[in-house]
Structure 1
Amino acid sequence: MKARRTTSGLPRAEGEAAQRRSNPLGAAPGRRSRVRAWPAAGSRTRSAARQRAQMDELRQGIRYRRIFVTLLGVIIAVSAVVVLLGTVGLVAETRSRPLTAAEQNQYKDEEIARRWQAWPATGVFPEEVKYVGLDRAQQYARRVGIAPETDCGKGVDTSVAEVLRSHNCRTMLRATYTDQTAAFVITVGVAVLENEESRVSATDELAKDDRVGVLPVAFPGTVSERFGRDQRQRTGWVGAGPYIVFSTAGYADGRTRAAVPPEEILHSELWPAAKSVGNQIAYFLADPPKVPPCTQGNVC
Protein backbone atom coordinates (compact mmCIF):
# COMPACT_ATOMS: atom_id res chain seq x y z
CA MET A 1 0.00 0.00 0.00
CA LYS A 2 1.47 3.27 -1.02
CA ALA A 3 2.11 6.07 1.41
CA ARG A 4 -0.29 9.04 1.25
CA ARG A 5 1.08 12.19 -0.22
CA THR A 6 0.46 15.66 0.82
CA THR A 7 -0.60 18.28 -1.55
CA SER A 8 3.05 19.24 -1.93
CA GLY A 9 3.82 15.81 -3.20
CA LEU A 10 5.81 14.64 -0.12
CA PRO A 11 4.75 11.77 2.03
CA ARG A 12 2.81 12.95 5.17
CA ALA A 13 5.39 11.57 7.54
CA GLU A 14 8.17 13.28 5.78
CA GLY A 15 6.24 16.54 5.71
CA GLU A 16 5.58 16.49 9.44
CA ALA A 17 9.23 15.75 10.10
CA ALA A 18 10.23 18.67 7.96
CA GLN A 19 7.81 20.97 9.85
CA ARG A 20 9.19 19.83 13.21
CA ARG A 21 12.69 20.59 12.01
CA SER A 22 11.63 24.10 11.00
CA ASN A 23 9.73 24.63 14.31
CA PRO A 24 11.88 23.22 17.09
CA LEU A 25 9.29 24.12 19.82
CA GLY A 26 6.97 21.72 18.24
CA ALA A 27 4.14 24.13 17.85
CA ALA A 28 1.57 23.12 15.39
CA PRO A 29 1.93 24.91 12.14
CA GLY A 30 -0.46 27.74 11.56
CA ARG A 31 -1.03 28.37 15.27
CA ARG A 32 -0.02 31.64 17.14
CA SER A 33 2.65 31.23 19.77
CA ARG A 34 1.38 31.34 23.35
CA VAL A 35 4.70 32.62 24.77
CA ARG A 36 4.18 36.16 26.35
CA ALA A 37 6.57 38.90 25.41
CA TRP A 38 8.29 40.15 28.61
CA PRO A 39 8.75 43.89 28.91
CA ALA A 40 12.28 45.15 28.98
CA ALA A 41 13.75 45.68 32.45
CA GLY A 42 14.69 49.36 31.63
CA SER A 43 11.06 50.47 31.07
CA ARG A 44 10.02 49.44 34.59
CA THR A 45 12.92 51.38 36.08
CA ARG A 46 12.01 54.48 34.09
CA SER A 47 8.39 54.25 35.21
CA ALA A 48 9.41 54.03 38.86
CA ALA A 49 11.75 57.00 38.42
CA ARG A 50 8.96 59.05 36.90
CA GLN A 51 6.68 58.21 39.80
CA ARG A 52 9.36 59.18 42.33
CA ALA A 53 9.98 62.47 40.47
CA GLN A 54 6.25 63.21 40.48
CA MET A 55 6.03 62.48 44.18
CA ASP A 56 9.03 64.73 44.87
CA GLU A 57 7.44 67.54 42.89
CA LEU A 58 4.19 67.05 44.76
CA ARG A 59 5.96 67.12 48.14
CA GLN A 60 7.93 70.24 47.10
CA GLY A 61 4.74 71.95 45.96
CA ILE A 62 3.11 71.13 49.29
CA ARG A 63 6.12 72.61 51.15
CA TYR A 64 6.00 75.79 49.02
CA ARG A 65 2.28 76.08 49.63
CA ARG A 66 2.79 75.78 53.38
CA ILE A 67 5.54 78.43 53.28
CA PHE A 68 3.34 80.73 51.19
CA VAL A 69 0.36 80.28 53.49
CA THR A 70 2.56 80.93 56.53
CA LEU A 71 4.06 84.10 55.02
CA LEU A 72 0.61 85.31 53.96
CA GLY A 73 -0.67 84.74 57.48
CA VAL A 74 2.27 86.69 58.95
CA ILE A 75 1.71 89.58 56.52
CA ILE A 76 -1.99 89.71 57.32
CA ALA A 77 -1.29 89.61 61.06
CA VAL A 78 1.32 92.40 60.83
CA SER A 79 -1.00 94.50 58.65
CA ALA A 80 -3.82 94.05 61.13
CA VAL A 81 -1.57 95.15 63.99
CA VAL A 82 -0.40 98.21 62.02
CA VAL A 83 -3.98 99.18 61.15
CA LEU A 84 -5.04 98.69 64.75
CA LEU A 85 -2.18 100.82 66.09
CA GLY A 86 -2.87 103.49 63.47
CA THR A 87 -6.55 103.55 64.37
CA VAL A 88 -5.76 103.83 68.06
CA GLY A 89 -3.26 106.64 67.37
CA LEU A 90 -5.72 108.48 65.13
CA VAL A 91 -8.47 108.26 67.71
CA ALA A 92 -6.08 109.47 70.40
CA GLU A 93 -4.89 112.33 68.22
CA THR A 94 -8.30 113.48 67.01
CA ARG A 95 -10.32 113.08 70.16
CA SER A 96 -11.35 116.27 71.86
CA ARG A 97 -9.07 117.35 74.69
CA PRO A 98 -8.26 120.57 76.56
CA LEU A 99 -5.89 122.96 74.78
CA THR A 100 -2.51 123.50 76.36
CA ALA A 101 -1.25 127.02 77.11
CA ALA A 102 1.08 126.85 74.10
CA GLU A 103 -1.78 125.76 71.84
CA GLN A 104 -3.96 128.58 73.12
CA ASN A 105 -1.25 131.13 72.33
CA GLN A 106 -0.73 129.61 68.91
CA TYR A 107 -4.46 129.81 68.23
CA LYS A 108 -4.49 133.50 69.16
CA ASP A 109 -1.43 134.32 67.05
CA GLU A 110 -2.77 132.53 63.98
CA GLU A 111 -6.20 134.10 64.31
CA ILE A 112 -4.75 137.62 64.59
CA ALA A 113 -2.23 137.08 61.79
CA ARG A 114 -4.88 136.08 59.25
CA ARG A 115 -7.37 138.85 59.96
CA TRP A 116 -6.07 141.17 57.25
CA GLN A 117 -7.02 138.46 54.72
CA ALA A 118 -9.97 136.83 56.46
CA TRP A 119 -11.76 140.08 57.16
CA PRO A 120 -13.30 142.22 54.42
CA ALA A 121 -11.68 145.61 53.81
CA THR A 122 -14.56 147.23 55.69
CA GLY A 123 -13.69 145.02 58.67
CA VAL A 124 -10.10 146.23 58.77
CA PHE A 125 -11.25 149.83 58.21
CA PRO A 126 -14.70 150.30 59.75
CA GLU A 127 -17.01 152.97 58.43
CA GLU A 128 -16.88 154.79 61.76
CA VAL A 129 -14.11 154.86 64.35
CA LYS A 130 -14.61 156.56 67.70
CA TYR A 131 -12.00 158.86 69.17
CA VAL A 132 -11.71 161.24 72.08
CA GLY A 133 -12.03 164.95 71.16
CA LEU A 134 -11.67 168.15 73.13
CA ASP A 135 -12.86 168.03 76.72
CA ARG A 136 -12.61 164.25 76.37
CA ALA A 137 -15.82 164.13 74.45
CA GLN A 138 -16.34 160.93 72.44
CA GLN A 139 -16.57 161.62 68.73
CA TYR A 140 -16.55 159.59 65.53
CA ALA A 141 -14.28 159.72 62.50
CA ARG A 142 -15.92 158.68 59.24
CA ARG A 143 -14.22 156.70 56.51
CA VAL A 144 -13.79 158.60 53.22
CA GLY A 145 -12.41 155.73 51.16
CA ILE A 146 -10.25 152.61 51.05
CA ALA A 147 -7.19 152.54 48.78
CA PRO A 148 -6.21 149.43 46.77
CA GLU A 149 -3.73 147.09 48.44
CA THR A 150 -0.18 148.08 47.57
CA ASP A 151 3.44 147.10 48.05
CA CYS A 152 4.93 148.11 51.39
CA GLY A 153 7.57 150.24 49.68
CA LYS A 154 4.99 152.22 47.72
CA GLY A 155 2.78 153.16 50.66
CA VAL A 156 5.40 154.82 52.89
CA ASP A 157 8.36 157.17 52.68
CA THR A 158 11.66 155.82 51.37
CA SER A 159 13.43 155.55 54.74
CA VAL A 160 10.50 153.62 56.20
CA ALA A 161 10.21 151.43 53.10
CA GLU A 162 13.79 150.23 53.49
CA VAL A 163 13.10 149.04 57.02
CA LEU A 164 9.87 147.29 56.06
CA ARG A 165 11.44 145.52 53.10
CA SER A 166 14.39 144.33 55.17
CA HIS A 167 11.91 142.60 57.49
CA ASN A 168 9.85 141.01 54.69
CA CYS A 169 6.80 143.22 54.88
CA ARG A 170 4.04 141.43 52.97
CA THR A 171 1.65 144.21 51.97
CA MET A 172 0.26 147.65 52.83
CA LEU A 173 -3.40 148.49 53.43
CA ARG A 174 -4.57 152.11 53.58
CA ALA A 175 -7.75 154.10 54.16
CA THR A 176 -8.57 157.76 54.75
CA TYR A 177 -10.88 159.19 57.43
CA THR A 178 -12.16 162.60 58.34
CA ASP A 179 -12.93 163.80 61.85
CA GLN A 180 -16.45 164.57 63.05
CA THR A 181 -16.14 168.24 62.08
CA ALA A 182 -14.61 167.45 58.66
CA ALA A 183 -11.74 169.83 59.50
CA PHE A 184 -9.05 167.13 59.65
CA VAL A 185 -8.08 164.39 57.21
CA ILE A 186 -6.41 161.21 58.49
CA THR A 187 -4.82 158.38 56.50
CA VAL A 188 -4.25 155.08 58.31
CA GLY A 189 -1.86 152.50 56.87
CA VAL A 190 -1.50 148.88 58.00
CA ALA A 191 1.84 147.20 57.19
CA VAL A 192 1.51 143.42 57.40
CA LEU A 193 4.63 141.61 58.67
CA GLU A 194 5.22 137.84 58.76
CA ASN A 195 4.78 137.57 62.52
CA GLU A 196 5.01 139.54 65.71
CA GLU A 197 8.76 138.93 66.04
CA SER A 198 9.36 140.49 62.62
CA ARG A 199 7.17 143.43 63.55
CA VAL A 200 9.08 144.07 66.78
CA SER A 201 12.41 143.96 64.93
CA ALA A 202 11.10 146.39 62.31
CA THR A 203 9.71 148.90 64.78
CA ASP A 204 13.02 148.87 66.67
CA GLU A 205 14.65 150.24 63.52
CA LEU A 206 12.07 152.89 62.62
CA ALA A 207 13.30 156.44 63.10
CA LYS A 208 11.53 158.67 65.62
CA ASP A 209 10.65 161.25 63.00
CA ASP A 210 7.10 162.61 62.74
CA ARG A 211 7.77 163.89 59.23
CA VAL A 212 7.97 160.42 57.63
CA GLY A 213 5.62 157.47 57.68
CA VAL A 214 2.60 156.45 55.64
CA LEU A 215 1.80 158.36 52.45
CA PRO A 216 -1.59 160.10 52.34
CA VAL A 217 -4.40 158.78 50.14
CA ALA A 218 -6.67 161.46 48.63
CA PHE A 219 -10.03 160.71 47.03
CA PRO A 220 -11.16 163.25 44.40
CA GLY A 221 -14.47 164.93 45.06
CA THR A 222 -14.23 164.39 48.80
CA VAL A 223 -12.94 166.37 51.76
CA SER A 224 -9.62 164.57 51.34
CA GLU A 225 -8.86 165.68 47.77
CA ARG A 226 -6.24 168.24 48.92
CA PHE A 227 -4.43 165.87 51.22
CA GLY A 228 -0.91 165.13 49.94
CA ARG A 229 2.67 164.73 51.14
CA ASP A 230 3.17 168.42 51.89
CA GLN A 231 -0.11 168.64 53.80
CA ARG A 232 0.94 166.07 56.39
CA GLN A 233 1.30 167.81 59.73
CA ARG A 234 2.45 164.80 61.78
CA THR A 235 2.93 161.06 61.37
CA GLY A 236 3.25 158.19 63.81
CA TRP A 237 2.81 154.45 64.23
CA VAL A 238 1.82 151.79 66.76
CA GLY A 239 2.64 148.07 66.81
CA ALA A 240 -0.07 145.44 67.16
CA GLY A 241 0.60 141.74 66.69
CA PRO A 242 2.22 141.28 63.27
CA TYR A 243 0.97 144.73 62.14
CA ILE A 244 2.45 148.21 62.18
CA VAL A 245 -0.41 150.70 62.05
CA PHE A 246 0.73 154.06 60.69
CA SER A 247 -1.28 157.25 60.81
CA THR A 248 -0.81 160.73 59.40
CA ALA A 249 -3.07 163.80 59.55
CA GLY A 250 -3.51 167.19 57.93
CA TYR A 251 -6.04 169.95 57.46
CA ALA A 252 -8.86 169.49 55.00
CA ASP A 253 -8.30 173.01 53.62
CA GLY A 254 -4.92 171.96 52.18
CA ARG A 255 -2.57 173.83 54.50
CA THR A 256 0.97 172.54 54.34
CA ARG A 257 3.13 171.68 57.31
CA ALA A 258 5.33 174.69 56.61
CA ALA A 259 2.31 177.01 56.73
CA VAL A 260 1.21 175.99 60.23
CA PRO A 261 3.17 177.21 63.30
CA PRO A 262 4.56 174.36 65.43
CA GLU A 263 2.78 175.62 68.53
CA GLU A 264 -0.56 175.39 66.77
CA ILE A 265 0.03 171.73 66.01
CA LEU A 266 1.01 171.04 69.61
CA HIS A 267 -2.23 172.50 70.93
CA SER A 268 -4.48 171.33 68.13
CA GLU A 269 -7.00 168.51 68.28
CA LEU A 270 -5.68 167.24 64.94
CA TRP A 271 -2.95 164.92 66.15
CA PRO A 272 -4.77 163.44 69.19
CA ALA A 273 -7.68 162.59 66.89
CA ALA A 274 -5.42 161.00 64.28
CA LYS A 275 -3.50 159.02 66.89
CA SER A 276 -6.73 157.81 68.47
CA VAL A 277 -8.11 156.62 65.13
CA GLY A 278 -4.91 154.71 64.39
CA ASN A 279 -4.91 153.13 67.84
CA GLN A 280 -8.52 152.03 67.45
CA ILE A 281 -7.80 150.23 64.18
CA ALA A 282 -4.72 148.60 65.73
CA TYR A 283 -6.88 147.46 68.63
CA PHE A 284 -9.43 145.89 66.27
CA LEU A 285 -6.72 143.96 64.45
CA ALA A 286 -4.87 142.69 67.51
CA ASP A 287 -7.77 142.18 69.91
CA PRO A 288 -7.23 138.67 71.37
CA PRO A 289 -9.88 136.27 70.10
CA LYS A 290 -11.92 134.02 72.33
CA VAL A 291 -10.09 130.71 72.47
CA PRO A 292 -12.14 127.48 72.63
CA PRO A 293 -11.21 125.38 75.66
CA CYS A 294 -10.91 122.13 73.70
CA THR A 295 -9.40 120.96 70.45
CA GLN A 296 -12.86 120.33 68.98
CA GLY A 297 -14.82 123.19 70.44
CA ASN A 298 -16.25 123.71 73.85
CA VAL A 299 -16.68 120.06 74.81
CA CYS A 300 -13.68 117.90 75.75
Structure 2
Amino acid sequence: MLSYRHSFHAGNHADVLKHTVQSLIIESLKEKEKPFLYLDTHAGAGRYLLNSEQAERTGEHQEGIARVWDCPDLPEAMAPYINVVRQLNTNGNLRYYPGSPLIARELLRPQDSLQLTELHPSDYPLLRTEFSKDDRARVARGDGYQQLKAKLPPVSRRALVLIDPPYEIKTDYQAVVEGIAEGYKRFATGVYALWYPVVLRQQIKRMVHALEETGIRRILQIELAVRPDNSHRGMTASGMIVINPPWKLEVQMAEILPWLHGKLVPEGTGHTALNWIVPE
Protein backbone atom coordinates (compact mmCIF):
# COMPACT_ATOMS: atom_id res chain seq x y z
CA MET A 1 0.00 0.00 0.00
CA LEU A 2 2.87 2.36 0.86
CA SER A 3 0.61 5.11 2.19
CA TYR A 4 2.24 5.29 5.61
CA ARG A 5 4.66 8.19 6.21
CA HIS A 6 6.45 8.31 9.54
CA SER A 7 6.83 12.07 9.21
CA PHE A 8 3.28 12.37 10.62
CA HIS A 9 4.28 10.49 13.78
CA ALA A 10 7.99 11.21 14.33
CA GLY A 11 8.97 11.78 17.94
CA ASN A 12 5.72 10.48 19.43
CA HIS A 13 5.52 8.33 22.56
CA ALA A 14 6.07 5.15 20.53
CA ASP A 15 9.28 6.55 19.03
CA VAL A 16 10.56 7.49 22.47
CA LEU A 17 10.07 3.93 23.72
CA LYS A 18 11.45 2.33 20.56
CA HIS A 19 14.56 4.48 20.41
CA THR A 20 15.23 4.14 24.11
CA VAL A 21 15.33 0.37 23.74
CA GLN A 22 17.32 0.57 20.49
CA SER A 23 19.99 2.79 22.06
CA LEU A 24 20.30 0.59 25.15
CA ILE A 25 20.91 -2.47 22.98
CA ILE A 26 23.51 -0.65 20.87
CA GLU A 27 25.35 0.60 23.94
CA SER A 28 25.43 -2.94 25.33
CA LEU A 29 26.80 -4.36 22.07
CA LYS A 30 29.55 -1.72 22.12
CA GLU A 31 30.90 -3.11 25.38
CA LYS A 32 32.77 -5.71 23.31
CA GLU A 33 35.44 -4.52 20.87
CA LYS A 34 34.31 -6.87 18.11
CA PRO A 35 32.27 -5.09 15.40
CA PHE A 36 28.59 -5.69 14.81
CA LEU A 37 25.97 -5.07 12.14
CA TYR A 38 22.94 -2.84 12.59
CA LEU A 39 20.23 -4.06 10.22
CA ASP A 40 17.09 -1.93 9.85
CA THR A 41 14.34 -3.56 7.76
CA HIS A 42 12.02 -0.53 7.52
CA ALA A 43 14.38 2.42 7.92
CA GLY A 44 12.20 5.37 6.89
CA ALA A 45 13.66 8.73 5.84
CA GLY A 46 16.37 9.01 8.50
CA ARG A 47 15.49 12.37 10.00
CA TYR A 48 12.25 14.32 10.36
CA LEU A 49 11.43 18.01 10.47
CA LEU A 50 9.05 18.57 13.35
CA ASN A 51 7.68 21.83 12.01
CA SER A 52 6.83 20.26 8.65
CA GLU A 53 3.25 20.26 7.44
CA GLN A 54 2.91 16.53 8.21
CA ALA A 55 4.32 16.73 11.74
CA GLU A 56 2.39 19.86 12.65
CA ARG A 57 -0.83 18.32 11.39
CA THR A 58 -0.71 15.68 14.13
CA GLY A 59 1.55 17.36 16.70
CA GLU A 60 2.36 13.94 18.15
CA HIS A 61 5.91 14.87 19.14
CA GLN A 62 4.50 17.38 21.64
CA GLU A 63 3.28 14.45 23.73
CA GLY A 64 6.45 12.44 23.08
CA ILE A 65 10.02 13.66 22.73
CA ALA A 66 9.09 17.26 23.67
CA ARG A 67 8.24 16.05 27.17
CA VAL A 68 11.56 14.34 27.86
CA TRP A 69 14.42 15.74 25.78
CA ASP A 70 15.42 18.52 28.18
CA CYS A 71 14.43 16.92 31.50
CA PRO A 72 17.06 17.49 34.22
CA ASP A 73 16.18 14.18 35.90
CA LEU A 74 16.75 12.07 32.78
CA PRO A 75 17.77 8.49 33.65
CA GLU A 76 21.48 8.06 32.95
CA ALA A 77 20.90 5.08 30.65
CA MET A 78 18.81 7.25 28.29
CA ALA A 79 21.59 9.81 27.78
CA PRO A 80 23.05 8.32 24.55
CA TYR A 81 19.65 8.46 22.83
CA ILE A 82 18.71 11.90 24.10
CA ASN A 83 22.16 13.28 23.26
CA VAL A 84 21.56 12.36 19.60
CA VAL A 85 18.33 14.38 19.70
CA ARG A 86 20.16 17.30 21.32
CA GLN A 87 22.95 17.20 18.71
CA LEU A 88 20.33 17.74 15.99
CA ASN A 89 18.85 20.67 17.91
CA THR A 90 21.84 22.62 19.20
CA ASN A 91 20.04 25.96 19.42
CA GLY A 92 17.69 24.64 22.09
CA ASN A 93 14.65 24.52 19.82
CA LEU A 94 13.21 21.11 19.00
CA ARG A 95 13.07 21.16 15.17
CA TYR A 96 14.44 17.77 14.10
CA TYR A 97 13.89 14.22 15.23
CA PRO A 98 16.24 11.35 14.33
CA GLY A 99 14.78 8.12 13.01
CA SER A 100 16.23 4.78 14.06
CA PRO A 101 18.94 4.69 11.35
CA LEU A 102 20.23 8.13 12.33
CA ILE A 103 20.33 7.16 16.00
CA ALA A 104 22.28 4.06 15.04
CA ARG A 105 24.70 6.07 12.89
CA GLU A 106 25.51 8.44 15.73
CA LEU A 107 25.97 5.66 18.30
CA LEU A 108 27.87 3.10 16.21
CA ARG A 109 31.68 2.97 16.13
CA PRO A 110 33.95 3.14 13.07
CA GLN A 111 34.28 -0.66 12.99
CA ASP A 112 30.52 -1.27 13.00
CA SER A 113 28.27 -1.28 9.91
CA LEU A 114 24.72 -0.43 8.90
CA GLN A 115 22.39 -2.16 6.45
CA LEU A 116 19.30 0.00 5.84
CA THR A 117 16.27 -0.90 3.74
CA GLU A 118 13.31 1.25 2.76
CA LEU A 119 10.63 0.61 0.14
CA HIS A 120 8.66 3.86 0.11
CA PRO A 121 9.43 5.85 -3.08
CA SER A 122 9.49 9.18 -1.22
CA ASP A 123 11.47 8.11 1.85
CA TYR A 124 14.10 6.00 0.10
CA PRO A 125 15.82 8.92 -1.72
CA LEU A 126 15.91 10.91 1.54
CA LEU A 127 17.48 7.97 3.36
CA ARG A 128 20.03 7.41 0.59
CA THR A 129 21.05 11.09 0.64
CA GLU A 130 21.30 11.12 4.43
CA PHE A 131 23.82 8.26 4.38
CA SER A 132 25.61 9.00 1.10
CA LYS A 133 28.85 10.01 2.86
CA ASP A 134 28.91 7.21 5.46
CA ASP A 135 31.16 4.39 4.28
CA ARG A 136 29.81 2.10 7.01
CA ALA A 137 26.28 2.19 5.57
CA ARG A 138 24.59 0.31 2.75
CA VAL A 139 21.17 1.63 1.73
CA ALA A 140 18.81 -0.49 -0.36
CA ARG A 141 15.32 0.00 -1.72
CA GLY A 142 13.29 -3.15 -1.34
CA ASP A 143 11.41 -5.52 0.92
CA GLY A 144 13.01 -5.35 4.35
CA TYR A 145 12.01 -8.90 5.22
CA GLN A 146 14.18 -10.16 2.36
CA GLN A 147 17.20 -8.68 4.12
CA LEU A 148 16.66 -11.17 6.94
CA LYS A 149 17.50 -13.85 4.38
CA ALA A 150 20.11 -12.01 2.34
CA LYS A 151 22.22 -10.34 5.04
CA LEU A 152 22.19 -12.87 7.86
CA PRO A 153 24.37 -14.13 9.37
CA PRO A 154 26.80 -11.18 9.25
CA VAL A 155 30.52 -11.83 8.93
CA SER A 156 31.07 -10.56 12.48
CA ARG A 157 28.42 -12.94 13.88
CA ARG A 158 27.09 -10.03 15.95
CA ALA A 159 24.07 -7.90 15.04
CA LEU A 160 21.08 -5.88 16.11
CA VAL A 161 18.15 -6.41 13.76
CA LEU A 162 15.43 -3.76 14.10
CA ILE A 163 12.08 -4.69 12.55
CA ASP A 164 9.72 -1.74 12.45
CA PRO A 165 7.07 -2.13 9.73
CA PRO A 166 4.17 0.30 9.28
CA TYR A 167 1.50 -2.36 9.97
CA GLU A 168 -0.61 -0.89 7.17
CA ILE A 169 -2.32 -4.22 6.63
CA LYS A 170 -3.31 -6.92 9.12
CA THR A 171 -0.97 -9.48 7.54
CA ASP A 172 2.01 -7.42 8.77
CA TYR A 173 1.46 -8.92 12.22
CA GLN A 174 2.09 -12.40 10.81
CA ALA A 175 4.77 -11.25 8.39
CA VAL A 176 6.98 -10.00 11.22
CA VAL A 177 6.83 -13.38 12.95
CA GLU A 178 7.69 -15.20 9.72
CA GLY A 179 10.54 -12.77 9.09
CA ILE A 180 11.98 -13.28 12.55
CA ALA A 181 11.72 -17.04 12.22
CA GLU A 182 13.59 -16.90 8.89
CA GLY A 183 16.32 -14.71 10.33
CA TYR A 184 16.64 -16.78 13.47
CA LYS A 185 17.14 -19.98 11.45
CA ARG A 186 20.16 -18.36 9.82
CA PHE A 187 21.45 -16.44 12.84
CA ALA A 188 20.21 -17.64 16.21
CA THR A 189 22.59 -15.52 18.33
CA GLY A 190 21.61 -12.10 16.97
CA VAL A 191 19.56 -9.54 18.87
CA TYR A 192 16.15 -9.02 17.22
CA ALA A 193 14.07 -6.00 18.25
CA LEU A 194 10.49 -5.88 16.97
CA TRP A 195 8.38 -2.75 17.40
CA TYR A 196 4.59 -3.06 17.46
CA PRO A 197 1.61 -0.70 17.87
CA VAL A 198 -1.39 -1.61 19.99
CA VAL A 199 -4.51 -0.70 18.03
CA LEU A 200 -6.48 -3.86 18.76
CA ARG A 201 -5.16 -5.91 21.67
CA GLN A 202 -6.30 -9.15 20.10
CA GLN A 203 -3.90 -8.64 17.20
CA ILE A 204 -0.98 -8.39 19.62
CA LYS A 205 -2.09 -11.48 21.51
CA ARG A 206 -2.16 -13.44 18.25
CA MET A 207 1.28 -12.15 17.28
CA VAL A 208 2.75 -13.05 20.67
CA HIS A 209 1.23 -16.53 20.49
CA ALA A 210 2.72 -16.99 17.01
CA LEU A 211 6.14 -16.02 18.38
CA GLU A 212 5.76 -18.57 21.16
CA GLU A 213 4.94 -21.20 18.56
CA THR A 214 8.27 -20.64 16.77
CA GLY A 215 10.14 -22.31 19.63
CA ILE A 216 12.50 -19.35 20.00
CA ARG A 217 13.72 -18.76 23.56
CA ARG A 218 14.64 -15.57 25.44
CA ILE A 219 11.87 -13.26 24.24
CA LEU A 220 11.36 -10.11 26.34
CA GLN A 221 8.33 -7.82 25.98
CA ILE A 222 8.43 -4.11 26.85
CA GLU A 223 5.27 -2.02 26.56
CA LEU A 224 4.09 1.50 27.31
CA ALA A 225 0.42 2.51 27.01
CA VAL A 226 -0.78 6.10 27.08
CA ARG A 227 -4.46 5.11 27.22
CA PRO A 228 -6.36 1.99 28.24
CA ASP A 229 -7.05 -0.59 25.55
CA ASN A 230 -10.21 0.14 23.60
CA SER A 231 -11.99 -0.85 20.41
CA HIS A 232 -11.91 2.63 18.89
CA ARG A 233 -9.59 3.65 16.07
CA GLY A 234 -6.09 4.73 17.05
CA MET A 235 -2.95 3.51 18.82
CA THR A 236 -3.27 3.30 22.59
CA ALA A 237 0.14 1.74 23.29
CA SER A 238 3.29 0.45 21.69
CA GLY A 239 5.91 -2.07 22.59
CA MET A 240 9.21 -3.68 21.81
CA ILE A 241 9.73 -7.43 21.68
CA VAL A 242 13.41 -8.29 22.03
CA ILE A 243 14.90 -11.70 21.28
CA ASN A 244 18.27 -12.38 22.91
CA PRO A 245 18.22 -9.10 24.86
CA PRO A 246 21.46 -7.92 26.47
CA TRP A 247 21.58 -9.03 30.08
CA LYS A 248 21.20 -5.47 31.40
CA LEU A 249 18.16 -4.52 29.33
CA GLU A 250 15.47 -5.86 31.67
CA VAL A 251 16.99 -4.09 34.69
CA GLN A 252 17.45 -0.85 32.76
CA MET A 253 13.88 -0.82 31.49
CA ALA A 254 12.52 -1.64 34.95
CA GLU A 255 14.00 1.70 36.02
CA ILE A 256 13.20 3.69 32.89
CA LEU A 257 9.59 2.59 32.20
CA PRO A 258 8.01 4.18 35.32
CA TRP A 259 9.93 7.40 34.64
CA LEU A 260 8.86 7.45 30.99
CA HIS A 261 5.25 6.76 31.88
CA GLY A 262 5.26 9.58 34.40
CA LYS A 263 6.65 12.07 31.87
CA LEU A 264 4.72 10.97 28.80
CA VAL A 265 1.42 10.28 30.56
CA PRO A 266 1.22 12.83 33.39
CA GLU A 267 -2.47 12.11 33.86
CA GLY A 268 -1.53 8.56 34.86
CA THR A 269 -3.68 6.61 32.41
CA GLY A 270 -2.48 3.57 30.51
CA HIS A 271 0.13 1.16 31.84
CA THR A 272 3.63 -0.23 31.48
CA ALA A 273 4.61 -3.87 31.11
CA LEU A 274 7.92 -5.71 31.28
CA ASN A 275 7.75 -9.48 31.07
CA TRP A 276 9.25 -12.55 29.45
CA ILE A 277 7.11 -14.03 26.70
CA VAL A 278 9.51 -16.97 26.65
CA PRO A 279 12.32 -17.20 29.23
CA GLU A 280 15.69 -18.94 28.87
TM-score range, shorter chain: under 0.3
Whose helix proportion is higher, 1 or 2?
1
